[in-house]
Structure 1
Amino acid sequence: MPDVPDSPEAYINLLPGDRRDALAALRRVLKENLPAGFAETMGYGMIGYVVPHALYPAGYHCDPQLPLPFISIASQKNFIAVYHMGLYADQELLGWFVQEYPKHCQSRLYMGKSCIRFRKPAHIPYKLIGELAAKMTPRAWMALYERQLKK
């Protein structure tokens, strides 16, 4: 993307049709399912959902000026990505997701430590992503994050 969008709407509007529809649907699912307290932002060139400084004044340890990141969505060159920091930090949550994924999607799970990748927009399991988003409150994420920092 040549332009740096300053809002989720601007980001989505820069995408080609199938990507635009998929990111708009992911955004809607996240906004409908994330527990109260997360804030929508733009960060690292992606749409992000963060714990704002009002709830977590310390901010992100890599750059305390930034709020604590939780979930981001992005259209990358070869896939659409959902970055969920809780999957990286919580083995039980990761295990649940890996077990549930085949029940919602016929394509093979393609993911890294916190990045779930979808090569085809039609393969995004929106219902499952909504369930995943609903599983952790901002307070639970802050507590898990702090435990991970102490390790």
Structure 2
Amino acid sequence: MPLWFALIAQAALLSYALVGGVFLAFSDFIMRALSQLDGASGAGAMQNINREVFRWVFMTLFLGLAPVSLLLAGYGALWLGGTAGVLIALGGLVYLLGCFAVTVAANVPMNEALAAMDRSAPATQAYWSGTYLPRWTFWNSLRTLACALAAALLLAGLLRAGHPPA
């Protein structure tokens, strides 16, 4: 495994863990805390959070991991071979499908629907408590698990290849 690839894989491993940690915080306690607010306050707080998530640190990691994961999956499958290559390829694919694709297909549409609503409207409060909270949290928990699994697979692949994370 070339050094450049090992360094990219190590950076991806750390980034998977960081992104997964953000998702874990939401599934573990942030959404639970927001659910204890009245519907207008909870929905309003989440609308604010969803606007702030576009700050550069998180979004750079989250979006940047998509092409990096594609690189990991392709390089691992096509050029590395063996158990290490399979593990590294699976790590990239798990992030792409379990985190990135889930975000695009499930969480973002719910965020956009919530953003378009008037937080004080009864329909918004019903959507917040009856639909958004349980569904968004479910999909977010799946993203959390995908990030953890992607990091674990990548770590196992690096260890198998003889390039432990620095």
TM-score by length of 2: 0.26
> Which structure's residues are more often strand, by fraction?
1
Could you tell me the TM-score, scaled by structure 1's length? 0.28
Q: Pick 1 or 2: higher relative contact order, CA cutoff 8 A, min separation 6.
A: 2
